[in-house]
Amino acid sequence: MNKVLAVLCILVGVGGCSKNSVGFSIDNPTAAPLHVAIDGTAYDIPPHDAKELSLRAGLHTMESATTGKLQFLVYAGARGGLINPTFSPYVVVNEVYATNATTARGFRPGEQAVNIDGVEFKGPFVLSDELFIDKTWSYGVHEDFPHELRVGRDSKGNIQGKVFAKDDFIRYVESGEGKPDLSARNRKDAPPAQRHFPQAPPLPTFADAELEAKTAPLKDIYRRYQRASTSDEQVALQKSYGPAVSELVGVYAAKASKASREENEKYNTLILQVGNAFGQSARVVE
């Protein structure tokens, strides 16, 4: 399903967003109207439609039939993405654009299997059904992949992503593979989507007392960031995050070769968990 890269012109200039507001799209992939209230403002979204909105960094409220009443944080300077009150599955598809087939092979994106209604699809796919889905795509649910991209003359290949609602994803894959009934023949009845807000596990504790002490500043920044309800506080912690990681990396590098496998795994878990938290656009506050 590779696309065409048209080497025609140079795209320049990308508009920036204020750190104090983040763009989201409340999407309704279902056949029924969706009613959501955010900060007391009601949004009525027709079937297979969406509502674009901008939310300031900080604490907000949400209420819907599927989510119930909850509070959530929006983070300053975040990339935004989808608000998914129906907890429906969405799939990001990464496609190659290239000037020729040889170049396309060099830009092959990673593949993984995703399961939808009991049917496995394997390809450059990433599946999510969380309430907040961070934007990792160029083309939204209600946009099409372009047939061509216009880029600089030196560009030979590119990878672009688009996010699909479930039914659109199935049609896209079936059309590309020439198997229009693949899902219908193999699908299984799935239970209704459930309200779920996965909680981050506790941060790991290191057996090495010195290493544990050196992780304390990063752990403190992480815990404070999880509760930071103002833009100023969030931005200050974002600025502290990089130096805290750099300092820990220097300490760990001197110990890594002699550390146990368990300690090394703990370190990787810590760096990944904290990094993911600082990459979030929004999170539910329980």
- Indicate the pTM of the whole model: 0.86
Identify the residue whose tokens are 């993984």: 112
For residue 177, the model assigns a pLDDT of 75
* CA pair distance 21, 36, nearest whole angstrom: 20
Q: What does each of the 286 residues of the chain score in pLDDT, given as a tens digit?
A: 555 444 332 232 223 345 689 999 999 999 999 999 999 999 999 999 999 999 999 999 999 999 999 999 999 999 999 999 999 999 999 988 877 777 777 777 788 999 998 888 999 999 999 999 999 999 999 999 988 877 666 667 788 999 999 999 999 998 887 767 767 666 777 676 667 777 889 999 999 998 999 999 999 999 999 999 999 999 999 999 999 999 999 899 998 888 899 999 999 999 999 999 999 999 999 7
